[in-house]
Amino acid sequence: MTDRDTRHKKAMQKRKEIVDAKVAKATEERGIVIVITGNGKGKTTSAWGTVARSLGYGYKVAVTQFIKGTWDCGERDIFEGNPNLSVHVMGTGFTWETQDRELDKKACRAAWEQTLPHLQDDAVHLVVLDEITYMLKYGYLEIEEVLEALKNRPEQQSVILTGRAAHRDLIEYADTVSEVRDEKHAFNAGIKAQKGIDW
Ligand code: ATP
Ligand code: MG
């Protein structure tokens, strides 16, 4: 063994001790609230990745897409027809397309009313609230009602909330928060959004 191998072995032993101690400490078993925020690319795709994980184990999953007008993305063809998945799509397009606050607000309310029963159903393992941060930002939903629904959800249920500029109180309440940083984006270099990559 070279010196470097010996040093590596020692370092790995130390690391294993630290990891084992951390694993031993994490004993609580409950669902978690995950927030995926920030300006970079990868928030919605991360949520769908977790949907795939849950469905893979036969769990029930409910997804609500706030903002999006149609469920027009590659994921749909993979997941559509899965009896364990229910997807609700808010019925209007992007807000800068509809430009009608009252219409958007109504659509948001309807989407939220459809989502609430899932947040109360202990048979649902995972609920995804995609792009919900904008609903809070525009004042279509109140932070209090969202937090109340999260707090009253079944103990083993996890919820993923995505979108830029997540509300401070939501970040504080969540168990896991990831901020996707926009270091670079192809779009800003003039490259068109692509089927199979961006939707
Ligand atoms: P994705 O759905 O690819 O995971 P996202 O959910 O992180 O992206 P959104 O803010 O919801 O990002 O953006 C939706 C669309 O805008 C996607 O097509 C995405 O690829 C694109 N996009 C994401 N981040 C950026 C960015 N920083 N600049 C330009 N376009 C972006
Ligand atoms: Mg998104």
Among 24, 36, 23, CA closest to 175: 36
Nearest atom (ligand 1) to Cα of 180: 7
Condensed to tens digits (0 to 9), the pLDDT of residues 25-56 reads 888 899 999 999 999 999 999 999 999 999 99
State in Å: Cα 23 to ligand 2 middle.
32
Among 14, 53, 101, 184, the active-site one is 53
* Whether 10 is catalytic: no
Tell me how far apart the alpha carbons of residues 53 and 61 are, in angstroms, rounded to a whole number: 10
In whole numbers, what is the pLDDT of the chain averaged over residues? 92
The verdict on whether 66 is a catalytic residue reads: no
- Domains, in order of start, for the chain: 30-181 (3.40.50.300)
Of 37, 39, 41, 188, which is best to mutate to test ligand 1, by the most ligand atoms within 8 angstroms of its C-beta? 41
Count of residues in the chain: 199
Cα–Cα distance, 90 to 67 (Å, whole number): 6
Whether the model clears a pTM of 0.75, i.e. scores above it, the answer is yes
How many angstroms is it from 27 CA to the middle of ligand 2? 32
Residue 38, CB-side half-sphere exposure with 13 Å CA sphere: 16
- Interval 59-81: pLDDT, tens: 999 999 998 666 567 887 789 89
3-state secondary structure of 147: helix
Tokens of 26: 């994490």
Number of H helices, E strands in the chain: 8, 6
Q: In this structure, what is the dihedral angle of CA atoms 136, 138, 139, 145, given to the nearest 10 degrees?
A: -20
User: Among all chains, which residue has been given the structure tokens 């130390």?
Assistant: 14
Tens place of pLDDT per residue across the chain (199 aa): 889 999 999 999 999 999 999 899 888 899 999 999 999 999 999 999 999 999 999 999 999 999 866 656 788 778 989 999 999 988 766 566 667 888 888 889 999 999 999 999 999 999 999 999 999 999 999 999 999 999 999 999 999 999 999 999 999 999 999 999 999 999 989 999 999 999 8
Residue 142's CB is within 10 A of a number of other CB atoms, namely: 11
Characterize the bridge pairing of strands 124-130 and 158-162.
Answer: parallel
Atom of ligand 1 nearest to the CA of 164: 10
Active site residue 53: yes
Q: Under a CB-based contact definition with an 8 Å cutoff, are residues 120 and 152 in contact?
A: yes
Residue 199: what pLDDT?
87
Give the pLDDT score at 90: 86
Q: Could you say which of 39, 70, 82, 176 is catalytic?
A: 39
| C-alpha to C-alpha distance for 73 and 183, rounded to whole angstroms | 24
d(CA 46, CA 52): 10
The answer to whether 43 is a known catalytic residue is: yes
